[in-house]
A and B are shown apart, each in its own frame.
Chain A
Amino acid sequence: MTTSETPAEVQHVDSSTLDAPLNPVIVNRSFFGSIWYFFRKYPVLPAVVLIVLVIAAVIGPAAAPYERDIGPIGDRHLPMFSFSELAPEDQDAPKYGLWPAGFHLFGSDHIGRDVFTRVLHGARVSMQVVLVSLVLGMVIGVSLGMISGYYGGLTDELITRFVDIWYAMPFLMVALIVVLIFGRGLTVLLFVLALVAWAGFVRVIRAQVLVLKEMDYVAAARVNGASDFRIMFKHLLPGILNTAIVVGTLNTSGLILSESVLSFVGAGIQPPTPAWGVMTNEGRDYLSIAPHQVLVPSAAIFLVVISLNFLGDWLRDRLDPRLRQID
């Protein structure tokens, strides 16, 4: 609606009053009440966790206090917040002077490597894998969804049927088969995770395109002589981008879970590279003497996934509330 047609009394309606109850009540919030309200309204804590994750992924390897893959064997199974028990000359020296000598924030693992260092490195591994495979899966999924919805007919039937079959396969099984046929490595893992990600986009995007392609502006573009390709990428894509972003955010936590499960099973990232799933798997034999080796990377996975879930829900409600039904 244009401004000239807007009735005067609606003009100063902004988004904050839209959230208010129908009978306007003046809420006098106390100081803590308003903080609580702010935390309820915006995903503050999840955003903080994810910002910390991004910072850890970007500067983590440089900020990590110790070597990633080697450590003094005499320092194995140190508990959290402890100092090395070795003589100063046998200890691993911190990489920069600010770090207290011999201090292990999250303890050390079964061969004396610093767990904090490895968790920081693991953040970068997770972020790389998830971002690349998400983008890859998004491109494949969105393109197939658009083609399927736009052309219809046999193409649509084939793609939809294929997605159905794909959903009938337990992903871990497919992943194991693919990884063992093509070898274990980062590239294979990226493709496997892209295979996990793409199918989620197809149905939602297809449904959107089915609606959009009947619109007048698409018909107008076609009358003007636009090619199918141009209509899809120039005219339909902007309309489905919001949906794609929301589905992508909701899928990210699933990808992190899949990556950690694959690494845990031994089909994902290979040791000594410290993915969080790998660290959990290496630590599980020492649960009775040094449980922090399992608990620290587990907590990292858990915090990141829970934050992504909250952020995804919030983003969905903001950008595309129609998608509420898909969770």
Chain B
Amino acid sequence: MANFLARRFISSLVSVIGATLAIFILIQFHNDPRELFVPDSGYGISEEQWIALGDRMGLNDPLWKQYITWIGNTLRGDLGVSLARDRAVTDLIKGKIGATIQLAVGGWIFAIALGIPMGVLAAVKRGTFWDYFGRSVAIVGQAAPPFVTALVAIWIFAVWLNWLPAGGRSPEFNWTEYLLPCMALGWGAAASLMRLTRSSMLEVMDSEYIRLARAKGVGWNWVIYKHALRNALIAPVTSALLVFSGWLNGALVVEIVFSWPGIGYDALFRAVNDNDFPLLLGTVFIFILIYLVFATLADIAYTLIDPRVRLGNSSD
């Protein structure tokens, strides 16, 4: 286990360095961030001011030195100062990430609460109405991009039925505002969880020990919930942890459609538009960190649930 964690840590480190380095290099092709400080009207700025600005932002150093400086600061918990808004990047991200986490957790609960029971039901009642119903929900969820789900949900529940608000997030907690965004975000994940639960449940129910339990005379419900479900849930649980990674994409779209003041819309999207590279780099760094943490957690959860898996042998 310790050996695995060490290897996992090293490979995650390589991923973080590689990804941030790639973005760092790509950003060099973009406009000079000093141009943000040049007023649109008037005489522009002088040569000395330009160089002084470069000194202040560390742009006159060679590229490798800029990168090393950034890494050093990051390790001390300082992601730099946003150029467009003149505030610490960590403060900006801290202020916005709460809304995104709420959205992600809400969507996650929706995905699990819909996907796993539906998958079990579809497998247990194979070939009946419930099976076809569950599979249709999954097929629709996999084929509709998040903005289509979001807009159709707004059209039905906000415009047509007028039950729920069409977007926004008020400062005080209001649960009705969470329903539509979480559903739009969670449906795709619910679809893949449902398919995964169904197929692994079918596989388990076909195995010898379930037949043995049935032959011994154990009741059908007991067999399903005590014997089959435990083994069938291994794949969905791991996948449910990994689902977070894909949501960084979905969250951006859902936040745009619902005017949700989270990190995807308010930090990432604006940072790209404002040419604000410290903010951009910081956001990307946080996103990749979240992904890697969850990928490692998923692997650990895998061994805890299924003792047959030996982490040392797995190729990661």
User: In the complex the two chains form, is B155's CB within 8 Å of A287's CB?
Assistant: yes
Given contacts A170-B248, A176-B268, A287-B159, contact A301 B26 (CB under 8 A): no
Give, as a whole number of angstroms, the nearest-CB distance from A286 to chain B. 10
Q: Are B268 and A173 closer than 8 Å at their CB atoms?
A: yes
Give Cα A291–Cα B145 distance, bound, in whole angstroms.
18
B113 at the interface (CB under 8 A from A): no
Contact yes or no, B147 A169, CB < 8 A? no
Given contacts A170-B287, A298-B148, A298-B151, contact A265 B143 (CB under 8 A): no
Q: List the A residue with the shortest CB-CB distance to B268.
A: A173
> How close is B308's CB to chain A, nearest CB, in angstroms?
18
Closest to A179 in B: B272
Among the stretches A32-40, A95-103, A122-130, A253-261, the one at the interface with B is: A253-261
Choice from A170, A180, A181, A257 contacting B145 with Cβ under 8 Å: A257
A298 to B292 alpha-carbon distance, docked (Å): 33
- Is the Cβ of A294 less than 8 Å from the Cβ of B142? no
A178 CA to B166 CA in the complex, in Å? 32
Interface string of A153-182 (1 = CB under 8 A from B): 000000001101100111111001110111
Contact A265 B268 (CB under 8 A): no
Task: Tell yes or no: A91 within 8 A of B by CB.
Answer: no
Distance (Å) between the CB of B191 and the closest chain A CB? Answer: 11
Q: Contacts of A62 on B, CB cut-off 8 Å?
A: none
List, in ascending order, chain A residues with CB within 8 A of B26's CB: 177-178, 181
Which of B19, B27, B256, B272 touches A165 (beta carbons < 8 Å)? Answer: B19
Contact A164 B15 (CB under 8 A): yes
Residue of A nearest to B288 (CB): A168
Residues on the A chain within 8 Å of B23, using CB: 177
Contacts of A177 in B (CB 8 A): 23, 26-27, 272, 280, 284
Shortest CB distance A128–B (Å): 19
For B154, give its contact among A253, A277, A287 (CB under 8 Å): A287
Q: Known contacts A173-B248, A253-B143: does B272 contact A180 (CB below 8 Å)? A: yes
A295 within 8 A of B: yes
Q: Does A233 contact B (CB under 8 A)?
A: no
Q: B27: which of A181, A294, A305, A309 is its contact (CB, 8 Å)?
A: A181
| Given known contacts A164-B11, A168-B19, A173-B268, A302 and B257 CB-to-CB distance under 8 angstroms | no
Q: Is residue B213 contacting chain A, with contact meaning CB distance below 8 A?
A: no
B144 at the interface (CB under 8 A from A): yes
Which residues of the other chain, A, contact B143 by a CB distance below 8 angstroms?
253, 302, 305-306, 309
Q: Knowing A173-B287, A181-B26, A309-B143 touch, does A265 contact B252 (C-beta < 8 A)?
A: yes
Give every chain A residue within 8 A of B295 (Cβ-Cβ): 168
**Pick from A298, A301, A309: contact of B142, CB under 8 Å:** A309
Output the nearest chain B residue to A308 by Cβ-Cβ distance.
B143
Q: In the complex where A181-B30, A306-B139 touch, is A165 in contact with B15 (Cβ < 8 A)?
A: yes
Contacts of B248 on A, CB cut-off 8 Å?
170, 172-173
A-B Cβ contacts below 8 A, count: 114
How many chain A residues sit at the interface, stated as a range, is 35 or more
Q: A168 and B15: CB pair below 8 A?
A: yes
What residues on B are CB-neighbors of A288 within 8 Å? 159
Identity of the chain A residue whose Cβ is nearest the Cβ of B17 in the assembled complex: A165
Residue among B18, B151, B166, B275 with the highest chain A CB neighbour number at 10 A: B151
Interface residues on chain B, size class: 35 or more
Query: CA separation between A242 and B287, bound complex, in Å?
Result: 36
Interface check B173, CB cutoff 8 A: no
Return the CB mask of B273-307 against A: 1 if under 8 Å, else 0.
Answer: 10100001001100110011001000000000000
The distance from the CB of A321 to the nearest CB of chain B, in whole angstroms, is 15
| B1 contacts A by Cβ under 8 Å | no
Cβ contacts under 8 Å, A173 to chain B: 248-249, 252, 268, 283-284, 287
> Do B257 and A284 have beta carbons less than 8 Å apart?
yes
Question: Please, which residues of chain B bring their CB within 8 A of the CB of A172?
Answer: 248-249, 252-253
Please indicate the chain A residues that have their CB under 8 angstroms from the CB of B222 in the complex: none
Tell whether A280 is near chain B: CB-to-CB under 8 Å: yes
B288 touches A180 (CB 8 A): no
| Interface residue? A264 (CB, 8 A) | yes
Q: Do B288 and A169 touch across chains, with their CB atoms under 8 A apart? A: yes
CA distance A51 to B144 in the complex (A): 20
Given contacts A168-B288, A168-B291, contact A182 B151 (CB under 8 A): no
In the bound assembly, the distance between CA atoms of A302 and B140 in angstroms comes to 8
Query: Are B272 and A182 closer than 8 Å at their CB atoms?
Result: no
Pair B29/A182 contact, Cβ less than 8 Å: yes
Do the beta carbons of B152 and A176 come within 8 Å of each other?
A: no
* B252 in contact with A280 (CB, 8 Å): no
Contact partners of B249 in chain A: CB under 8 A: 170-173, 261
Give chain B residues whose Cβ lies under 8 Å from the Cβ of A165.
Answer: 14-15, 18-19, 22
Complex Cα–Cα for A294 and B158 (A): 15
Q: A173-B268, A177-B23, A178-B26 are in contact. Are A265 and B11 (CB under 8 A)?
A: no
Contact B30 A180 (CB under 8 A): yes
Q: CB-CB < 8 A to A291: which residues of B?
A: 155, 159
Instruction: Flag whether B245 is at the interface (Cβ < 8 A).
Output: yes
- Interface residue ranges of A232-291 to B (CB < 8 Å): 253, 257, 260-261, 264-265, 277, 280-281, 284, 287-288, 291
B269 within 8 A of A: yes
Are A301 and B145 closer than 8 Å at their CB atoms?
A: yes
Residues from 171 to 226 in A contacting B, C-beta threshold 8 Å: 171-173, 176-178, 180-182
Q: List 10 A-B contacts (CB under 8 A).
A: A161-B11, A170-B291, A173-B268, A173-B284, A177-B284, A180-B30, A261-B253, A265-B252, A291-B155, A294-B152
Q: Give A residues with C-beta under 8 Å from B.
A: 161-162, 164-165, 168-173, 176-178, 180-182, 253, 257, 260-261, 264-265, 277, 280-281, 284, 287-288, 291, 294-295, 298, 301-302, 305-306, 309
Besides the contacts A161-B14, A168-B15, A306-B139, what 13 more A-B pairs have beta carbons closer than 8 Å? Answer: A165-B15, A170-B287, A170-B291, A173-B248, A173-B284, A177-B272, A261-B146, A261-B253, A264-B147, A265-B252, A280-B151, A281-B147, A291-B155
